[in-house]
Structure 1
Amino acid sequence: MAYFKSMKQDFSAFLLQDDWRERLGHYFDLPPRKTLGPLFSLLLAPEPLLKWRAVSAFGEIVARLAEQDLESARVVMRRLMWNLNEESGAIGWGAPESMGESLARCPRLAVEFNRILISYAQEPTSGDGNYLDHEPLRRGVYWGMARLAEKQPDLVQQGRSTFLELLKDEDAEKRALGLWGLCSMGAGYETASAVRSLIEDKSVVVLYRDDQLREYLVSDLAREALAKIVA
C-alpha cells in the first residue's frame, strides 16, 4: 500500500510536466501491473490535465504489457469493461478513454476490442447491447473512438454513423469529437457534406490531443477534417 501511494504521488507530480513521457520511461522496468494500479486511480483526478495524462500513460503501459503477456493485457481491458457495467456499482470515469488509448497503442488489442468500444456509443437494434445511457461516459467513448481512428481507421468504420450524428448535436464538444473522428475515416460524399456544414461554426471547445489540453474552434477542426477527407 505504501508503494502504491508513493507511486501515485510521483505520477501526480510528473505527469503534469512537459517531460512526462521521458520520466514515465523510468518505470518501464517495473512489472506493468504495479504501475497500472496508481494510474487507474488517477483516472479520477480532479485536475483535468492529470486525468488525461494518466489516460495516455495507462495506454502506454497496457501496450507494453501486451507485448510481454497478451492475456494479462486482455484482463486489463475486461476490468475496464466491468467498470462500465452497471452491475459493477462503479461509474467508470476514465474507463472508455483508457480503453481507446490502449487500443490505439496496441494493434492486437484493437482487433479484439474495437467493436466493444464502439458498442458503448450505439443503441442496439435488438437485444440489450452495451449502450451507455450516462451521457458523460459516452463522451469518453467518442474520444476513445476518435483516438483509435487516428491510428487504425479501418477498425472504426462501423462508428462512422456515430461520428456523423455527433456533427448534428447541440453540444459543441460532441460536434468537435465527431469531426476529430471523421478526420481519419477517409472520403465519402456524405462525410464531406456533413463536415462542410460546420466550416463556419465558431464554437470554442477544449480537447485533449497530442498529449495537450487545448482550445479549438469547431470551424478549424472542420477545415482540418475536410482537408484530409478531400486529400
Structure 2
Amino acid sequence: MAHFKSMKRDFSIFLPLNDWRERLEPYLEQPPRKVLGPLFSLLLAPEPLLKWRAVSAFGVTVARLAEQDLESARVVMRRLMWNLNEESGAIGWGAPESMGESMARCPRLAVEFNRILISYAQEPTSGDGNYLDHEPLRRGVYWGMARLAEKQPDLVQRGRATFLELLRDEDAGKRALGLWGLGSVGNGPEVASAVRLLVDDHHVVVLYRNEQLREYGVNDLAREALNKVEA
C-alpha cells in the first residue's frame, strides 16, 4: 500500500509537467502492472490536466505491458470494459479514454478491441448492444475513437457515421470531437459538405490532443478536418 501511495503521489506531481514522459520512464522499469494501479486511481483526479495525463501514461504503460505479456494487457483492457458494465457497480470514468489511448499506442490491442470501443457509441439496430446511455461516458468514447483514428484510421471507419452525427450536436465539445475524428476517417463529398458547415462556428472548446490540454476554435478544427478530407 505504501508503494501504491508513494507512486500515486509522484505521478500527481510530475504528470502535469511538460517532461512527464521522461519522468515516467524509470517507473516503467518496474512491473507495469504495479504502475497501472496508481494511474488507474488518477483517472478520477479532479484536476483536468492530471486526469488526462494519467490517460496518456496509462496508454504508455499498457503498451509496454503488451510487449512483455500480451495476455496481461488484454486483462487490463477487459477490466476497463468491466468498469463500463452496469453490473460492475462502477461508473467507468476514464475507462473509454484509456481504452482508446492504449489501442492508439498498441496496434495489436487495437485490432482486437476497436469494435468494442466503437460499439459503446452506437445504438444497436436489433438485439442487445454495448451502447452507453450515460452521456458523459459516451463523450469519453468519442474521444477514444478520435484518438485511435489518428493512429489506426482503417479500424475506425465504422465509426464515421457517429462522427458525422456529432457534427449536428448542440454541444460544441461534441462537434469538436466529431471534427477531430473525421479528419482521420472522413472522405467524400458528404463528409466535406457536413464539415464545411462548421467553418464559421466560433465556439471555443477545451480539448486534450497531442498530450496537451488547450482551447480550440470549432472553426479551426473544421478547417483542419476539411483540409484532410479534401486531400
Q: Report TM bin, short chain.
A: over 0.9
The answer for the alignment partner of 1:100 in structure 2 is: 100
The answer for the alignment partner of 2:23 in structure 1 is: 23
The answer for the alignment partner of 1:45 in structure 2 is: 45
- Provide the secondary structure at the position in 1 that maps to 2:29: coil
The answer for the alignment partner of 1:197 in structure 2 is: 197
1:2-17 alignment runs, 5 A limit: 2-17=2-17
- The answer to whether 1:169 aligns with 2:138 is no
1 CA distance for matches of 2:170 and 2:66?
A: 39
- Provide the secondary structure at the position in 2 that maps to 1:18: coil
2 CA distance for matches of 1:105 and 1:127?
A: 32
- The answer to whether 1:155 aligns with 2:155 is yes
The answer for the alignment partner of 2:126 in structure 1 is: 126
Give the TM-score of the pair, scaled to structure 2: 0.99
The answer for the alignment partner of 1:78 in structure 2 is: 78
Unaligned runs of 5+ residues in structure 2 are none
The answer for the alignment partner of 1:87 in structure 2 is: 87
1 CA distance for matches of 2:95 and 2:114?
A: 14
Unaligned runs of 5+ residues in structure 1 are none
2 CA distance for matches of 1:100 and 1:18?
A: 22
Shift of 1:186: 4.1
- Provide the secondary structure at the position in 1 that maps to 2:216: strand
- The answer to whether 1:142 aligns with 2:142 is yes
1 CA distance for matches of 2:188 and 2:27?
A: 44
Please list the CA deviations of residues 152-172 of structure 1 after superposition, one character each: whole Å capped at 9, or x if unmatched. 000000000000000000000
The answer for the alignment partner of 2:219 in structure 1 is: 219
- Provide the secondary structure at the position in 2 that maps to 1:208: strand
- Structure 1 stretches (4+) deviating beyond 2 angstroms? none
**Percent identity of the aligned residues?**
84
